[in-house]
Amino acid sequence: MRRIWMVVFLAAFFTGCEPRSTDLRRDFSLPEGCSRLGSVEEASLAQDIRKYFLAEVSASVSEVVVEGGADCGDKFVFSIEAVAKGVHHPWIWFVFIDKSDGTKELIRPE
């Protein structure tokens, strides 16, 4: 009887789990109050965020895919995948702060 329940549990578990797609080119539902970024602006920000994320996470991350850029007023939000680790973050907030020398610094709030 115990073996039957184990089989039922495993069958239910595996039928409910879909393999995660590695293709991030899909429509993300934007957070409330946010608008999709333009492609040029998104590409520029994505490059900065990719560099930041690679530096912050680990040298073992070989690639960071940035998709789904959105402008949320004073913040920008992106969907990020750290490819080597296979970790997908649906939305991560980033903000730009003005530094004393007149430049802007990209930060990711905790």
pTM of the shown model = 0.48
Question: Residue 104: is its pLDDT beyond 50?
Answer: yes
Cα 108 to Cα 15, 33, 34: the distances in Å are 36, 19, 17
Residues 60 and 58: their CA atoms lie apart, in Å, by 5
Give me the pLDDT at residue 8, please: 39
Residues 94 and 70: their CA atoms lie apart, in Å, by 10
Tokens linked to 45: 């920000």
Tokens linked to 94: 């980033």
Residues 74 and 34: their CA atoms lie apart, in Å, by 10
Q: What is the pLDDT of residues 42-76, one digit of tens each?
A: 777 777 777 776 766 655 666 777 776 788 877 77
Of 103, 74, 78, nearest to 88 (Cα)?
Answer: 78
